Amino acid sequence: MNTGAHLEPLDLEQCLAHLRFHTIGRIAVIVDDGPVLFPVNYRLVEAVGSTWIALRTRPGNSIDRPGTKVAFEIDDVDPVHQRGWSVLVLGTLVPIDPDLPAGGVDPAPWIEAERDAWLAIEPSSITGRELHPSEQEWAFHLRAYL
């Protein structure tokens, strides 16, 4: 049993480090009066004075709606050690000019066919938290293991 586990907020730099390292997340949008989550490949783009999350999708689908408020999340969970972290980005979808140099912007989707709608999430907030476990309690007295 894991008693005394606690959540710790991640600062902005820790959140950005996770966003830099990972390439798959989930984007949440409202479709037909209800929330829907989609897994997406993404790339964190950092330019002087701005940070945004680039993604590509099929034109006209549920995500291809510039001006839409969205939530975007990445996380990692270690169920064995009962620890993990998550980063949540709230923001607005904006179109990206597909003629930009792809090297720093292209999220390289796993399925490239028909992924011609280039979008970015302009963050209004980036937050995160990490779950820290406490000491694991042993099921038996220590002598039982010796």
Report DSSP letters for 8-71, one per residue: EEEPHHHHHHHHHH--EEEEEEEETTEEEEEEEE-EEEEETTEEEEEEEE-TTSSS--TT-EEE
Q: Name which residue leads in pLDDT, 54 or 101.
A: 54
pLDDT at 3: 62
Q: Name which residue leads in pLDDT, 108 or 17.
A: 17
**67 token code pair:** 């001006």
pLDDT of 143 strictly over 80 = no
Q: Are 74 and 25 in contact (CB under 8 A)?
A: yes
The amino acid that residue 128 corresponds to is G
Model confidence band, residue 90 (pLDDT cutoffs 50, 70, 90): very high
CATH topology of domain 6-145: Pnp Oxidase; Chain A (2.30.110)
Q: Name which residue leads in pLDDT, 141 or 83.
A: 83
- Please state the pTM of the whole predicted model: 0.80
The domain limits of the chain are 6-145
